[in-house]
Amino acid sequence: MKDTILVTGGAGFIGSAVVRHILNNTAHRVVNVDKLTYAGNLDSLRSIESSENYFFEQVDICDFSNLERIFLKYAPTKVMHLAAESHVDRSITGPADFINTNIVGTFNLLEISRKHFLNKEGFRFHHISTDEVYGDLPHPDEQDGELPLFTETTHYKPSSPYSASKASSDHLVRAWARTYSLPVVITNCSNNYGPFHYPEKLIPLMILNALHGKPLPVYGDGSQIRDWLYVEDHARALYKVLMEGKVGETYNIGGFNEKRNVEVVKTICQILDEVHPAKESYSKLITSVSDRPGHDRRYAIDSRKIKNELGWEPQETFESGIRKTVMWYLDNKDWWAKLYKVNS
């Protein structure tokens, strides 16, 4: 069956990977709805923009009437909701945009879906969320023995305005499923990395700062732990959940790659020392900066459910994925140059 899949935030980092994956590997139509904020970039979709199955609408998901127009025009059979404000630092200095986009925008999508598509055969609403809604986990520096992982039943304990807004949107989706029987699936993912990543995020910022001989700022002692997931592995997982996941279920998606932040930065420096050497090791640029307020110490996802029930697991290790990522940035200056200037 050929679906029409409406993807919100399809010009963003993860969203563009999803759009490319669907159009390159299936016969489905994709309608990309994106406001094109600073983090939305149509250059990330050049490889598929001429596809006869691709349609783009520059619309804010907070604009209810325009969003409803798009739903009625394209009559999607499935929705993948990725549009979100997602940078924690920005949420601390300006939380209003996060409340509007992540909560009000999600409400709009749910209401339009309920109003027009609730009983449409095959309709499904896939809400893409984050592991940050769970708060943080015990850290190996603070606790001995086996450490817990986030599961699909972990209680929510968000720490930042960003994670609180995403937790709110998760709750809305579950409420619309329970009250209105809207067919939903939810995924919560770990930290993504890979090609086409906006330069404010840790990995691309470290790569580009290093290439420009600028300091590599690491919060505090850099001991914060994240589970790293290659973005193209995530795109495959999201599509599999959309098509094969059980309605009403939540699936956690992780990379099985727990790394301290400072370890990630040092790995980037080691790869650059090998493939793009400078006069001194890039590790000399690592600089400690004041820690982020309310900074979570550790995230780690238990992905056994999606592996056991849907047969998904990541194809990339952190070592293979981070090398691919570094090489991509070395080979694609035309994509990041203007973004990095803005961000510098």
> Which residues does the annotation mark as catalytic?
131-132, 162
CA 184 to the chain's CA centroid: 19
Residue 48: HSE in the Cβ half-sphere, 13 Å Cα cutoff = 26
CA 178 to the chain's CA centroid: 26
Q: Where are the alpha helices (DSSP H) in the chain?
A: 13-25, 64-74, 88-93, 96-98, 105-117, 161-180, 202-211, 231-244, 261-275, 304-310, 318-331, 333-343
Cα–Cα distances in angstroms (integers) from residue 104 to residues 101, 172, 236, in the given order: 6, 10, 28
Q: Can you read off the two tokens belonging to residue 11?
A: 């010009």
Q: How far apart are CA 300 and CA 255, in angstroms?
A: 9
Residue type, 12: G
Residue 296: HSE in the Cβ half-sphere, 13 Å Cα cutoff = 23
Orientation angle between helical segments 202-211 and 261-275, nearest 10 degrees: 40
DSSP assignment of 257-320 equals: -EEEHHHHHHHHHHHHHHHS--SS-GGGGEEEEPPPTT---B--B--HHHHHHH----S--HHH
Q: Can you read off the two tokens belonging to residue 342?
A: 């803005």
Across the strands, what pairs with 225? 260, 298
